Structure formats: structure tokens, C-alpha cells
Amino acid sequence: WSCLITRSRGFWSEDHQLVREKELQEIRALDKVFRPELQEEFSKLKHKVKLTMLEGDILDEQCLKRACQGISVVIHSASIIDVTGAIQREAIMNVNLKGTQLLLEACVQANVPIFIYTSTIEVAGPNSYSEIIQNGHEEEHLESKWSTAYPYSKKLAEKVVLAADGWTLKNGGTLYTCSLRPMYIYGEGNPFICRQINQALQNNGILKNFAKHSLVNPVYVGNVAWAHILALKALLDPKKAPSIRGQFYYISDDTPHESYSKFNYILSKEWGLHIDSGMTLPVSLQYWIAFLLEIVSSLLSPIYEYQPPFTRHLVTLSNSVFTFSYKKAQQDLGYKPLYSWEEAKQKTTQWVGSLVKEHKEALKKKT
């Protein structure tokens, strides 16, 4: 079999995991732009399997049709991730929803039988910082009520993917789909952790304590990649496929349940970083300030584009108790974390250390 991966330009490791699969003939990676360091990384994998890097737009129908030709599995993880409201709504909806629809149509035309969608925990919520969800599961049918572009677009795209299960392919075959909902993904290259660490390094090593009231169960990127591979293997298996088709799965691992702030500290304390011990505003007050700022933004919109420093959605996301079990993925997909918490922590901590080293070297050059 052969696999097309649509990539987000953050970090992913399906490519590394896939090259270990003996039955794999080719990996195609589709992204809008491949950074030079990523091209170098990919070149190291080429001797193990045929690997093709395709630069193209997820909204370009002809590009998608070409990318899907001769492919047996599509892993669709390309999306615009935005939790701050910094990116235009239209751009997010186009890439996350329309791009997914176009890719599904390309699969039908190119007779690609398996489509695995990388969704997000945000399609389930949290909807309120006062609501507590611990060890949530698929049977609860939780759904985000936010109209904010990112969770809204991902929710609609996931619905489209799951509804596409059973579509008839051009050659008369059948399309099988499923969706994976990872928790907050951490690991080497995570853009959010990178931003927090760099901000702390510019602030005497003090990490922002922006989310001390949250309780979440982050998942290591390598385990998310492994879950995708198990999902595609299950959909290729005639015995397993019927119970997996059209289903979604929460993907977590054995990473400790922590607040986002405490988690950043755990990954960086070895390098001398500390959490800000100062007072923070009550969450309820943060929420209503965000509400007022959103009103101001809306009133100013005809004459001036004002982006609030934080929104109600971000306040809720950063201060909720929201954790999920991977039991269903374990039962249906045979999923068990490939990387232990200790391994994942070591790999991520080493990467954080490289960020600290880069910062120190940059300071030396300035002086």
C-alpha cells in the first residue's frame, strides 16, 4: 500500500513511523511549503522507502487529484490552527472545511479507499470553564458550541469525513473513513511550547502562569502518529474495518494530567525556567473582560481591525478540567502508547534545551 499525508507546518512524525512498515511502497507528503530543515530530514528517510514531497495548496483541486493518484490511504492532518483569533475566519474555514471536502472528492475520483482525518479535542469542547469533564469517552457525544473559526471548522470537517464513509469510488469500490481526536499534542517542534519558552527566555526565564486552573492530559506526538498507523491498518483489515468505519476516537496516552502552565514548567525546569508566582485575575473576571474586548472589536470592525489580546474561547480553553480516556482506541484499534511518559518527556525536554541553547548563542552574538 501507499500513503498520502497532508501536513500542517508545525510538527508531525507519521513519516518516521510509516517508514518502518514493511508493506509500505511509497509516502507522499503534501504541504504548501517545506522548510529547508524539513527537506533535509526527509532526505534521510528516502533510502528506506520511496518518499515524494509535493508542494501544493489544499484548495487546488487539480493538485489534490494528482497527489491522490495511485494512493491507497490518505492521512489528512493539514489545517490552520488558531486559538487567539489572529487569522481571518474565511481563511480558516476554507482550508479546514473546504479543503477537507475537496480532498474527499479527490479520493473518490482517484479511487483511494481509506481516509483518516486528524481532528482535535476542541470539536468536543470545552464549552464552559465551570464544566468538569474527566476521563471523557466517545459515548458521551460531547460537541463544541463555539462559533470560533478553528473549533467550528474542525467540527464541521469531521462531520463531513464521517458522513463520507460508504461513498462509492469511481471504480465502484467503497470509501472507508474514521477520525482521530488527539488531546493537546506536545513534542519536538510544538509551535505553542516554542512560543511559551521563547517568551520566558526573554523574561528572565519566567514562564507565564496563564492556565493554572486547567487540568488536561497532553499526548506525545509520536503516540498520535502511532494511532494513525493503527487506524489505517485496522481499516485495511476486513475483519476489523466494519466496527471502525465512520467512527471517531480520542487519542491520549499516559502523560500525567496537569495544567498547561505546570506542564510547560515540567518540560523546561531542567533548563532553569520557573513559573510566574504572581497573582492572576479570577477566571470569571478574565472571561467578562474578554467579552467586553470582543464587543469593542465588533464595534470597531467597520473602521479598524482590533484583535483582542484574549477571547472568551481562549479563557475557557485555558482554564477547564477536560481529560479523556483512550480506552475505545485501545479496544478497536489495538492502540497502546508507543512511547512512555518518561521517553516522551526526555525527547521533548532535550528539544526545549536546544531552544534555550539557541537563545543563549543569539545573546552572545549580540554582545
Whether the per-residue pLDDT at 244 is higher than 80: the answer is yes
Q: Specify the pLDDT at position 38.
A: 61
Question: What band does 10 get if pLDDT is binned at 50, 70 and 90?
Answer: very low
- When the pLDDT of each residue in the chain is averaged and rounded to a whole number, the result is 90
In a domain? residue 313:
no
Look up residue 114 and give its amino acid.
I
pLDDT at position 329 is: 97
Mean pLDDT of the region 321-331: 97
Q: Is 150 considered catalytic here?
A: yes
Is residue 355 assigned to a domain? no
* Domain CATH for 242: 3.40.50.720
Which residue in this structure is represented by grid cell 487540568? 215
pLDDT band at residue 297 using 50, 70 and 90 as cut-offs? very high
Q: Which candidate, 262, 260, 271, 264, places its Cα nearest to that of 359?
A: 271
Q: Is residue 307 part of a domain?
A: no
Count of structural domains within the chain? 1
When pLDDT is cut at 50, 70 and 90, the band that residue 279 belongs to is confident
* Active-site residue (options: 150, 249, 287, 326): 150
- Among residues 13, 91, 27, which one has the least CA distance to residue 58? 91
The answer to the question of residue 63 being in a domain is yes
Distance of CA 362 to the CA centre of its chain: 30
Share of the chain above pLDDT 90, in %: 73
The whole-model pTM stands at 0.91
On whether residue 123 sits in a domain, the answer given is: yes
The answer on pLDDT for 303 being more than 50 is yes
Least confident of 22-26, 29-33, 203-207, 225-229: 22-26
Any domain includes 181 = yes
What pLDDT, on a 0 to 100 scale, did the predictor assign at position 27? 82
pLDDT value of residue 277: 85
Domain that holds residue 144: 2-188+217-253+325-339
Residue 7 counted as domain residue: yes
Tell me the per-residue pLDDT of 96-133, one tens digit each, with 9 for 90 and over.
999 999 999 999 999 999 999 999 999 999 999 999 99
User: Could you report the per-residue pLDDT of 49-64, keeping only the tens digit for each?
Assistant: 677 888 889 999 999 9
